[in-house]
Structure 1
Amino acid sequence: MKPLLKTEALEIRTATAQLVQPLSIALYPGRVLTIIGETGSGKSLFAQGIVGNLPPGLHARGRVEFGTGFSEEGRAGGRQALWGRDIAVLPQEPWLSLDPTMRALGQVSETYRYVRGTGAEASHRLARQDMARMGLEHAEAKFPFQLSGGMAQRLAFAATHAGGAQIMIADEPTKGLDSARIGEVVELLQAGLANGGALLIITHNIEVARRLGGDVMIMHKGKVVESGSAEQVLSRPAQEYTRQLLDADPKRWAPRSRPIFTNEAVVQVNDLAVARGGHTLFEGLSFKTRRGEIVGVTGPSGCGKSTLGDVILGLMNAREGTVTTQAGAPRVAFQKLYQDPVAAFPPSVTLARNLTDLVSLHRLDSSRIDVLLQRLRLEPSLLNRLPGNVSGGELQRFSLLRVLLLKPVFIFADEPSSRLDLITQQEMIELLVETARENATAVLLVSHDEALIDAVSDQRIRLGSLNPSTNTAEHADTLTRLQPYPRVKRA
């Protein structure tokens, strides 16, 4: 059987350094290859080298071949003619693959029409079916900026999948999704394999790798340290690094002691009701977040988790209820860690300049930058790069560094580890918790990972989009259902 995709000694380099060591793979019809590894290990760069869309300053050596008979050197650019039709690419950041000026339905239907040549009426019908399957039937007329991160990821997947390419390269296709939506994406990926396609997937989600099966490669610092069947590598790893990666799963984290908080509330929410686009997301929500306390928020995609944080930060208004913040604290003391770090950094300014400007504007201690770089395992050389030229996980850690420089009293952390591998996620979350305890910083932590929230949170908030009145708050091990409250206007 002839492989649909083959690489021969494909390596990724700068002018002076080798970032990914020569790597040869063969991907056959109906097969999946999953690449797992730490953030910055070279997984995404290898995939970009295959596709032919490496960032400026990087280039590929070696050879790339496709089952159609197409073959070229890694440096060449002829592969771009295959994009969409023979090889589909789902990038890590959905905002990089979505047109910000086009409504959601059009993004999917135009793929059917202009890539597959389907008629206009059939394209719209098929696009609606795809969006309904992904739980996006109510988002057809929305623009990407009106969608949550998880909804945008599902839309990007639907638009990419509609092209019908035999080879799909998916970089973190399930990040930012709840367990139900992850299952739907896995089923769609498996359907493509059943039709004779092949899948190269990059993921930090060990469970996704197990469910997809096939072959798994573990990458570390630009080279493959272990490879084999998914069952073998993920159940009986031979290398110590692979074992460390698996042990960093939040399900295996040691339980933490939960302190009793008796100090003042940094944020107090009373009888909050929030609607978006005429749809009520939640109502009757009340809770306090005290100094040094970690409050975890969970719920399905689109239920209002990110919106809750935006209301607390004053970025949008609630329909009803009040939000009271710590008296005397300046606005800059209330910070947000964005779910999509790309949207939080100016694209044409280096990371070094970004941090320098922040230090200058707020008269901060610049010596803390080096300390935080070391704690977050960020190479100082990355400071000279633009945000688009570092990995999503590295950029998310720079987001945390920037927030910690400001010594905030409150951090709204919106899926802060969704782009991180398990090892780096554990280190980042531990640093966030340590910082909260040491500096008496209140944290509202949003995540789809129930195990992660169980491991670190002192209080739980559960939101659900199907019935807004069933939202619940949980403190310690006691679950309390929120009862209807008299409706009041926001103060």
Structure 2
Amino acid sequence: MTTTTLSSPALLAVDGLGIQVNGRHLLRDIAFTLQPGEALALVGESGAGKSLLAQAIMGNLPPALKATGSITIEGTTTRADDAAARRALWGRRLALLPQEPSLALNPLNRLAPQLAEVHALLHGRGWPQAKGLAQAQLAAAGLGEATRHYPWQLSGGMAQRAVAAITLAGGAQVLMVDEPTKGLDAHWRDRTIDLFRGVLAAGGCLLTITHDLAVAQALGGQVIVLREGQVVEHGDIATVATRPSHPFTRQLLAADPARWDAFAAPTPGDTVVQARGIAKSYGGRSLFAAMDLDLHAGERIAVQGPSGTGKSTLGNVLLGLLAPDTGSVQRAPQLRPHAFQKLYQDPVSSFAPHASLAQSLRDAARLHGHAWAAVLQRLQQLRIPESLLARRPEQVSGGELQRIALARVLLAQPALLFADEPTSRLDPITQQEALGVLLAAVRETGAALMLVTHDEHIAAAVGTRTLDFSANARAAMPRAPAAAGVLHNAAP
């Protein structure tokens, strides 16, 4: 291992970084420098290599991928392919908040001890003090009642906040965060942004991978726009957001959900499922009180509200995956056994980890009687190349896996589809395209759609009714025909 000590005050510098696999370039010639207190946002299309860049800096690339170029951390330069040289920095000086919290948390250990370990092992604190700090930090993240929960007992947003708390506890000055606000409601998104601003105020630097340009603007600093593994624009975020120079950047900004027109509202058909008086509690806490809900063929309900308030649980009850504490759920008698389907918030957990994506899709196509050509046609609509299917789930980006999961679930031609944040890992352009494919499919089959989303603009564009879990308000409201595209908050 060869290292060089520089006099530059930069906390992080990347020079000529490239990533290849089997002679194919996934990233080309990435270069940037971050000084203390400086932020950089990395935006661009899904699958452009944003997460790979962060993994290369960490020294955590899959063995098949080869990195070139150099990486400098706090004045010490190493080759990009010298992963061992940077692993000693993990946690204390260099940290990554990963995109998939389910893969970052230990499923066999409760939440508080996982955070306490950071204080004990990285900072040498005694176990009683480490536990006390963990309890306080989880409470500050709104997880005070979940300290003894296992990761699989958390909602997606709660798991996201837990991983953020654990990552920040290390105190690393070079912090990278990968889609840190996906699955978070507006309150916790803003709180998370404030935490990152605290890192900058303390003299650290921040690399943020995000599809949400509002998050990039809130953090300030630089922005790099990636497309097909190459930088197409690099500059100050305020300038790029208002005066983009590259056509792709302009396209990305134009596709922001705030600018979408509402999708046409269908005419509701027969009742698909009828719920009467259903309620559910967890850990002694009521998630939702007794409620009635009818879902009709063709209608689209947008489900909104803070993380951890029972949105996913409601879907599981309606799908028959969980029994309600009280009340009943009755599905239309003519429906097929597999007519109720779910798109999971965490796509990687819904695929067999050791099977190729092609095998998973072929199994689903065979089960539901579809030709392989029809599967490939759907993937083409979603801009997923057939070459990706030879990989396993963890070998593709989160956005690519979300689109593959969408293609798979549509093979079942569901009568009710519960889609839990199905596009949260997608850039705005791909998000709009994927939702267009989803809505076209449910329109063809007459399926009812329940869409969980924290984005009020997506809810306004997609939903014909909204189900609001904010402040314990749960009422379904029709979208006003005269004001299509405007979200009507449910009445408390």
- Is TM-score (shorter-chain normalized) higher than 0.5? yes
Q: Distance in 2 between matches of 1:75 and 1:110?
A: 27
- For 1:159, the aligned partner's letter is I
Equivalent of 2:474, from 443, 456, 471?
Answer: 471
Q: Distance in 1 between matches of 2:358 and 2:267?
A: 40
* Contact 2:70–2:77 (Cα < 8 Å) also in 1: no
* Contact 1:264–1:291 (Cα < 8 Å) also in 2: yes
Equivalent of 1:143, from 140, 143, 150?
Answer: 150
Q: Distance in 2 between matches of 1:182 and 1:194?
A: 18
**The residue matched to 1:353 in structure 2 has which SS?**
helix
- For 1:405, the aligned partner's letter is L
Provide Cα deviations, 1:174-199, integer angstroms capped at 9, x if missing partner.
11000000011101001011111011
- For 1:476, the aligned partner's letter is R
Equivalent of 1:379, from 376, 379, 385?
Answer: 385
1:3 to partner: Cα distance? 0.6
Q: Distance in 1 between matches of 2:463 and 2:387?
A: 34
Q: How does 1:2-81 map to 2 (within 5 A)?
A: 2-81=9-88
Structure 1 unpaired stretches of 5+: 483-491
Aligned to 2:484: none
Q: How does 1:307-346 map to 2 (within 5 A)?
A: 307-346=313-352
* Contact 2:17–2:80 (Cα < 8 Å) also in 1: no
**The residue matched to 1:82 in structure 2 has which SS?**
coil
1:354 to partner: Cα distance? 1.1
1:138 to partner: Cα distance? 0.7
Q: Distance in 1 between matches of 2:490 and 2:358?
A: 46
- For 1:411, the aligned partner's letter is L
Change (3 A) 1:443 1:101: same
- For 1:196, the aligned partner's letter is G
- Match status 1:249 vs 2:256: yes
1:15 to partner: Cα distance? 2.1
**The residue matched to 2:278 in structure 1 has which SS?**
strand
Equivalent of 2:265, from 258, 268, 284?
Answer: 258
- Match status 1:204 vs 2:223: no
Backbone CA RMSD of aligned residues: 1.5
Equivalent of 1:389, from 395, 399, 402?
Answer: 395
TM-score by length of 1: 0.95
**The residue matched to 1:331 in structure 2 has which SS?**
coil
Q: How does 1:279-358 map to 2 (within 5 A)?
A: 279-358=285-364
Provide Cα deviations, 1:292-347, integer angstroms capped at 9, x if missing partner.
11111000000100001100111111111221212121221211100000100111
- Match status 1:447 vs 2:453: yes
- For 2:138, the aligned partner's letter is M
* Contact 2:298–2:446 (Cα < 8 Å) also in 1: yes
Q: How does 1:146-165 map to 2 (within 5 A)?
A: 146-165=153-172
Aligned to 1:459: 465
Equivalent of 1:95, from 102, 106, 119?
Answer: 102
1:480 to partner: Cα distance? 6.7
Q: Distance in 1 between matches of 2:368 and 2:282?
A: 34
Aligned to 2:89: 82
Q: Distance in 1 between matches of 2:340 and 2:490?
A: 28
**The residue matched to 1:40 in structure 2 has which SS?**
coil
Q: Distance in 1 between matches of 2:70 and 2:489?
A: 57
* Contact 2:54–2:96 (Cα < 8 Å) also in 1: no
Equivalent of 2:182, from 175, 198, 202?
Answer: 175
Equivalent of 1:130, from 126, 129, 137?
Answer: 137
TM-score by length of 2: 0.94
- Match status 1:398 vs 2:401: no
Aligned to 2:431: 425
- For 1:226, the aligned partner's letter is E
1:284 to partner: Cα distance? 2.9
Change (3 A) 1:369 1:260: closer
Equivalent of 2:126, from 113, 119, 123?
Answer: 119
Equivalent of 2:373, from 360, 367, 374?
Answer: 367
* Contact 1:293–1:437 (Cα < 8 Å) also in 2: no
Provide Cα deviations, 1:137-156, integer angstroms capped at 9, x if missing partner.
11000000000010001001
* Contact 1:436–1:442 (Cα < 8 Å) also in 2: yes
Q: Distance in 2 between matches of 1:208 and 1:73?
A: 28
* Contact 1:13–1:58 (Cα < 8 Å) also in 2: yes
Equivalenced residues, count = 478
**The residue matched to 1:115 in structure 2 has which SS?**
helix
- Match status 1:219 vs 2:222: no
* Contact 1:50–1:74 (Cα < 8 Å) also in 2: no
**The residue matched to 1:192 in structure 2 has which SS?**
helix
1:418 to partner: Cα distance? 0.8
Q: Distance in 1 between matches of 2:489 and 2:382?
A: 35
Q: Distance in 2 between matches of 1:37 and 1:73?
A: 22
* Contact 1:12–1:21 (Cα < 8 Å) also in 2: yes
* Contact 1:104–1:143 (Cα < 8 Å) also in 2: yes
* Contact 1:291–1:441 (Cα < 8 Å) also in 2: yes
Provide Cα deviations, 1:181-236, integer angstroms capped at 9, x if missing partner.
00111010010111110111100111111100010111000001111111001122
Q: Distance in 1 between matches of 2:370 and 2:443?
A: 21
Identity between Structure 1 and Structure 2 (%): 44
Provide Cα deviations, 1:367-405, integer angstroms capped at 9, x if missing partner.
211110110000110011111100001001010010111
1:122 to partner: Cα distance? 2.1
1:68 to partner: Cα distance? 4.8
* Contact 2:267–2:299 (Cα < 8 Å) also in 1: no
1:70 to partner: Cα distance? 4.9
1:255 to partner: Cα distance? 2.8
1:481 to partner: Cα distance? 4.9
* Contact 1:472–1:479 (Cα < 8 Å) also in 2: no
- For 2:248, the aligned partner's letter is Y
Q: Distance in 1 between matches of 2:362 and 2:337?
A: 20
- For 1:94, the aligned partner's letter is P
* Contact 2:468–2:489 (Cα < 8 Å) also in 1: no
- For 2:462, the aligned partner's letter is V
Change (3 A) 1:259 1:354: closer
**The residue matched to 1:60 in structure 2 has which SS?**
strand
Structure 2 unpaired stretches of 5+: 1-7, 481-487
1:459 to partner: Cα distance? 1.0
Q: Distance in 1 between matches of 2:99 and 2:109?
A: 20
**The residue matched to 2:360 in structure 1 has which SS?**
helix
